[in-house]
Amino acid sequence: MSDDGQPAPGHGYRKGPVLLRGEQIPATTSDQRLLSRTDPSSWLHDDPWRVMRIQSEFVEGFGALAEIGPAVSVFGSARTPADDPVYEVAVEVGRLLVEAGYGVITGGGPGIMEAANRGAKKAGGLSVGLGIELPFEQGMNEYVDLGVNFRYFFARKTMFVKYSEGFVVLPGGFGTLDELFEALTLVQTHKVIEFPIVLVGRDYWQGLVDWISGPVLSRGMISAADVELLQIVDTAEEAVQIVRERGAELRAEEEAAVRAAAADRAAAEDSSR
């Protein structure tokens, strides 16, 4: 199965470095066991060891991804079949991102994830998949060149954010919405740089944006500037263009900040002489 329960027979179930199939597949995930409190005293024995396992996930993820260079995360449904027009849009997104100088990061599964990895791989770029342990069979799609499997969602989410310079979001379900709002919240609260967040498919996303810019904004739950964090387009070309333009702006801002810091240091040295 994929990471949202779609059939993907024969791939097996990844539990860290271990591959399980058939009756060996557990009924619960590491996340479920971590968050369960059925035995009020079990954490005294189990949780300290889980901390070591969690630490190892971060170490392995950072080590595997540290040198991938500029990259963009592409989110979307695992349920999208290859004959769906949205699948082709995702392939084009992956291809154009590579041509723009970016690697492509997905959840490594089927559907939109597979499509974006496929486009990146066929364009000769870096195709990354960040998989997740779930209580049904799953596996990396065949277009992933660099794959990392995680036990814990929070460790996986950290990797998406840490190694991405933008987020392109195609139609998807709860998992996609979770990833979208995670990125949106981090940008809104300035926990990360204001990377672009682009929604592809106006017919799919417009209702969500209307709700955000309507009741959510009018009742003071967000500010008007927050609405501008989301941009909707209909084509892969438009999505990648936004990512490229925002990337150029961020690089220019960083270079200006470096020059300003150097000027301040030089001025301080001159005044101390």
Tell which wins on pLDDT, 80 or 273. Answer: 80
| pLDDT for the residue 2 | 39
pLDDT, the chain, mean: 87
| pLDDT for the residue 49 | 76
Evaluate whether residue 17 is within a structural domain.
Answer: no
Domain that holds residue 82: 59-258
Q: Name the domain count of the chain.
A: 1
- Per-residue pLDDT, averaged over 255-269, amounts to 83
If pLDDT is split at 50, 70 and 90, which confidence band does 45 have? low
Evaluate whether residue 29 is within a structural domain.
Answer: no
Tell which wins on pLDDT, 16 or 232. Answer: 232
Give the angle 76-79-80 at the CA atoms, nearest 5°: 70
CA distance 224 to 110: 36
- Per-residue pLDDT, averaged over 167-177, amounts to 96
- Per-residue pLDDT, averaged over 143-151, amounts to 92
16-40 pLDDT, tens digit each: 666 666 666 777 766 666 666 655 5
| pLDDT for the residue 7 | 45
At residue 10, does pLDDT exceed 60?
Answer: no
Evaluate whether residue 32 is within a structural domain.
Answer: no
Question: Around Cβ 80, how many Cβ atoms within 10 Å?
Answer: 23
Beta bridge partners of 73: 105, 167
Half-sphere exposure (Cβ direction) of 37: Cα atoms closer than 13 Å: 1
Where is mean pLDDT largest: 145-149, 193-197, 210-214, 264-268?
210-214
Evaluate whether residue 5 is within a structural domain.
Answer: no
| pLDDT for the residue 217 | 97
If pLDDT is split at 50, 70 and 90, which confidence band does 3 have? very low
| pLDDT for the residue 86 | 97
Tell which wins on pLDDT, 188 or 247. Answer: 188
| pLDDT for the residue 63 | 92
Residue closest to 15 by CA, chosen among 139, 162, 146: 139
Which 3-state string (H, E, C) describes 41-71?
CCHHHHHHHHHHHHHHHHHHHHHHHCCCCCE
Whole-number CA gyration radius for the chain? 21
- Per-residue pLDDT, averaged over 198-205, amounts to 98
Return the residue matching tokens 């369960």: 36
Evaluate whether residue 38 is within a structural domain.
Answer: no
pTM of the predicted structure, to 2 decimals: 0.80
Evaluate whether residue 12 is within a structural domain.
Answer: no
Residue closest to 30 by CA, chosen among 51, 44, 58, 9: 51
CA distance 63 to 59: 6
CA distance 117 to 142: 9
Evaluate whether residue 20 is within a structural domain.
Answer: no
**Percent share of the chain, pLDDT over 70:** 82
At residue 176, does pLDDT exceed 70?
Answer: yes
Evaluate whether residue 35 is within a structural domain.
Answer: no
* CATH number of the domain encompassing residue 201: 3.40.50.450
| pLDDT for the residue 232 | 97
Question: Around Cβ 32, how many Cβ atoms within 10 Å?
Answer: 12
- Per-residue pLDDT, averaged over 59-83, amounts to 94
